[in-house]
A and B are shown apart, each in its own frame.
Chain A
């Protein structure tokens, strides 16, 4: 069986998977990013107690909050780790098949999965087994900050400090790297989802209305910002008024969103400051000179770099294509493994 999976592996691409809370990205070696879909699975309850897959990814995401009783649209990952093992496995299986269009062979790729730095051994094992169950013939795990830094193009192999802040959907990871290793890293369970929840809570508190995750995300993406600016933008949205129980149209401006996001943003700033405090002085001076790199979808929040520049006093730059940094970095790691062996990053 193993030999045959090795044979099927000849027809499979090496994959780097950023198994994120919000989105799953797959980088196929030699092809670039081949999949970027929401980490959502919709499951239909059949008569007789059977559960069947209704939709995965983009198709399933539009179902979130809009499903009838027999369909459950779930996000199988929470805070960067697996919350529903079976759903994660099904989703991965679907995605891996989707990126291999061979009708003759079930894909059996070598897979590198990026995991949050703070994840426990149990959580890591769950991810590993989930990927293996989805058909991977070999599974490597790498810490997300390392993959993010490599994906951002930082010279992590140098004997100089590189600092990266990856703001994902469920977690934010801050790390200082040098000589292909992590000198300091921390993971806080604050990310894009936390921003959405903060907006939902703000609207409920101040407008007395309920809005869904999708609406909150739209508000965040369109007018959300992390730092006050002279330009004030507005957005119109609809929500269910709590006391009247009927839908109402409301208008919210960017300053209100900034106010709503204060708490999660403060958590991220605190984590970055702690990292700077904990970094050895030599590496700290390298970071102060060259700056910190922002990656992940959360870094696309307007003026996130300005906030961090003001709060930390060090240069902060945004990586190219920050959404795909982790997956691209994982892909680069697969190439480096082939050139230098898996020991170079101490991969599991």
Chain B
């Protein structure tokens, strides 16, 4: 009895390393069972029981079945089935993929795939952020470059229309100082080139009087330019004298129509502010300043403008948003 116990213990100790067949055979023999009796109980063939005891797994069905047989056999013999199955797993460690009993581990699982995607996304987002920052900084540089260009721009290009013809309310309320400073620099040249400039004259006063040239700050398209700008010229003479070109003054006056109001900005040749505020209903204003005058009218429809005492039709200078920008120059005689 003690011998059989010792042998059982020896079998148990060695079971971790050895195939389970020998241990099963010894246990069966201890219980005095024959292969045929075991086969009859488990409804397996004697050949399969012998194959299990001799660890000949190639003669047996796939591993899933073998594990089932080993479990049934070990329970029949009163052996711990976990140990027997563990011993079997060491002998036949890698069953075919279908028979893998434990959780299947894939090389690229959902979570690791998510990590890969997340890192790729991170890189893309970083790249996008860099591109956006780069674009903004280049935009700013371009803006500065434009301003510098505007400072140095010659007179014929200065009044050229900006690509953005829409209303610029920000500029209207708070004009950029750099733009203000450009006016005096460009004015003289504008005046010099006034005779040769084409298409910019909206109004040319007749000779014998102080001629005044009105140029829209942003030139309208050629087809919008009145064919006969001089037709709008009033016949009445102006009271202005003929000072040197730099000191030619223009008398500008306007009146706000009843019920209307308009933001008016007028600057003289030196960039000095002649008027810059919101004028209310019925309010009138008159001033004489050194030409050229830069005029902005917020609501041009509400303003009755007169230059050198002559009413001036703003229709040609009124843009779609109802604002008008014009430069009143003293034309060369």
In the complex, A224 has a CB within 8 A of chain B = no
**Bound Cα distance A314, B113 (Å):** 45
Q: Does B320 contact A (CB under 8 A)?
A: no
Query: Which residues of chain A from 275 to 314 have any CB-CB distance to chain B below 8 Å in the complex?
Result: 289-291, 293, 305, 309, 313-314
List residues of A whose CB falls within 8 A of some B CB.
Answer: 10-14, 27-33, 102, 109, 150, 152-157, 289-291, 293, 305, 309, 313-321, 328, 331-332, 335
Give the interface of B toward A (CB within 8 A): 41-45, 61-65, 67-69, 71-72, 85, 95-106, 108-114, 117-118
Q: Which residues on the B side are within 8 Å of A150 (C-beta)?
A: 98
Contact B106 A153 (CB under 8 A): no
Bound complex: CA A29 to CA B99 (Å): 16
Q: How far is the CB of B234 from the nearest CB of chain A, in Å? A: 67
Expressed in whole angstroms, the minimum distance between the Cβ of B62 and any Cβ of chain A is: 5
B103–A155 touching, CB < 8 Å: no
Chain B residues with Cβ under 8 A from A29's Cβ? 104, 106, 109-110
Given contacts A31-B109, A156-B98, contact A313 B72 (CB under 8 A): no
Identify whether the interface residues of B are mostly helix, strand, loop, or mixed: helix
A331 neighbours in B (Cβ, 8 Å): 104
**Complex partner residue of A305 from B62, B72, B96, B102, CB under 8 angstroms:** B72
Q: A291-B68, A315-B43, A331-B104 are in contact. Are A13 and B99 (CB under 8 A)?
A: no
Q: Which of A12, A153, A315, A328 contacts B69 (CB under 8 A)?
A: A315
- Known: A13-B111, A28-B110, A29-B106. Is A290-B101 also a contact (CB below 8 A)? no
- Closest A residue by C-beta to B62: A155
Given the contacts A13-B109, A319-B64, A314 and B43 also touching, CB distance less than 8 Å = yes
The reply to whether A155 and B99 form a contact with Cβ atoms under 8 Å apart is yes
Chain A contacts for B61, CB-based, 8 A: 289-290
- Whether B110 and A30, one on each chain, are in contact in the complex, defined by CB atoms closer than 8 angstroms, is yes
The answer to whether B110 touches A14 (Cβ under 8 A) is: yes
A30 and B109 contact, CB distance less than 8 A = yes
How far in angstroms is the closest Cβ of chain A from B276?
Answer: 52
User: Which chain A residue shows the least CB distance to B72?
Assistant: A317
With contacts A153-B100, A291-B44 taken as known, whether A30 is within 8 angstroms of B72 at the C-beta atoms is no
Measured between beta carbons, the chain A residues less than 8 angstroms from B44 are 291, 315
28 A-B pairs, CB-CB below 8 angstroms? Answer: A10-B117, A11-B117, A13-B111, A30-B106, A31-B103, A32-B103, A150-B98, A152-B64, A153-B99, A153-B101, A154-B99, A155-B62, A155-B99, A156-B98, A289-B45, A289-B61, A291-B44, A293-B68, A305-B72, A315-B69, A316-B72, A317-B65, A318-B71, A319-B64, A319-B68, A320-B85, A321-B101, A335-B104
Whether A153 lies near B63 (C-beta < 8 A) is yes
Summed over the interface, the residue pairs from A and B with CB atoms below 8 Å come to a total of 109
A153/B71 contact (C-beta < 8 A), A10-B114, A309-B42 known: no
B48 CB, nearest partner CB in chain A, Å: 9
Q: Give, as a whole number of angstroms, the nearest-CB distance from A314 to chain B.
A: 6
Q: Measured between alpha carbons, how far is A157 from B96 in the docked complex, in Å?
A: 12
> Across the two chains, which residue of chain B brings its CB closest to A150?
B98
Enumerate chain B residues within 8 angstroms of A289, measured Cβ to Cβ. Answer: 45, 61
- Least CB separation from B115: chain A residue: A11
Contact B109 A317, beta carbon cutoff 8 Å: no
Which among A11, A14, A30 has the highest number of chain B CB atoms within 10 Å? A30
Using Cβ atoms and an 8 Å threshold, which residues of chain B touch A316?
Answer: 43, 72
CB-defined contacts of A290 to chain B, threshold 8 Å: 61, 65
Across the two chains, which residue of chain B brings its CB closest to A12? B110
CA distance A202 to B115 in the complex (A): 55
Q: Which listed residue, A31, A317, A335, touches B71 by the CB 8 Å rule?
A: A317
For B73, the closest partner residue in chain A by CB is A317
A13 lies within 8 A of B95 (CB) = no
Bound-complex Cα distance A30 to B106 (A): 5
Nearest 8 Cβ contacts at the A-B interface: A30-B109, A32-B103, A317-B68, A153-B99, A153-B64, A13-B110, A320-B101, A30-B106
In the complex, residue of chain B having the shortest beta-carbon distance to the beta carbon of A294: B68
- In whole angstroms, how far apart are the Cα atoms of A145 and B64 in the complex? 16
Q: How near does chain A come to B123, taking the closest CB pair, in angstroms?
A: 15
| Of B45, B67, B104, most A-chain CB atoms within 10 Å | B104
Closest to A14 in B: B110
Chain B residues with CB under 8 A of A157: 98
Of the candidates B41, B62, B105, which one forms a contact with A153 in the assembled complex, judged by CB atoms under 8 Å apart?
B62
B68:A328 contact, CB within 8 angstroms:
no
State A10–B111 Cα separation when bound (angstroms). 9
- In the bound complex, residues from chain A placing their C-beta under 8 Å from that of B106 are 29-30, 335
User: Contacts A150-B98, A154-B64 given: A317-B43 contact, CB under 8 Å?
Assistant: no
Inter-chain contacts of B67 with A (CB < 8 A): 153, 317, 320
Q: Determine the chain B residues whose CB is within 8 A of the CB of A28 once the complex forms.
A: 110
Which of A109, A317, A320 has the largest count of B CB atoms less than 10 A from its CB?
A317
| New A-B contacts (20) at CB < 8 Å, excluding given A30-B112, A291-B65 | A12-B110, A13-B111, A28-B110, A29-B106, A30-B105, A30-B108, A32-B103, A155-B96, A155-B99, A156-B98, A290-B65, A313-B43, A314-B43, A315-B42, A316-B43, A318-B71, A320-B67, A320-B85, A332-B104, A335-B104
**How far, in angstroms, from A316 to B73 measured CA to CA in the complex?**
11
Contacts A13-B110, A291-B43, A317-B69 hold; do A32 and B64 have CB atoms under 8 A apart?
no
| Contact B110–A153 (Cβ < 8 Å) | no
Q: Do B104 and A30 touch (CB < 8 A)?
A: yes
Most chain B Cβ neighbours within 10 Å, of A12, A29, A102:
A29
For residue A218, give the distance in angstroms from its CB to the closest CB of chain B: 24
Query: How long is the Cα–Cα vector from A297 to B253 in the complex, in angstroms?
Result: 99
- Cα-based distance from A27 to B96 in the complex (angstroms): 20
- Chain A hits for B102, CB < 8 A: 32
By a CB distance below 8 angstroms, the chain A residues around B45 are 289
Residues of B within 8 A of A156 (CB): 98
- The complex places the Cα of A153 from the Cα of B104 at a distance, in Å, of 12
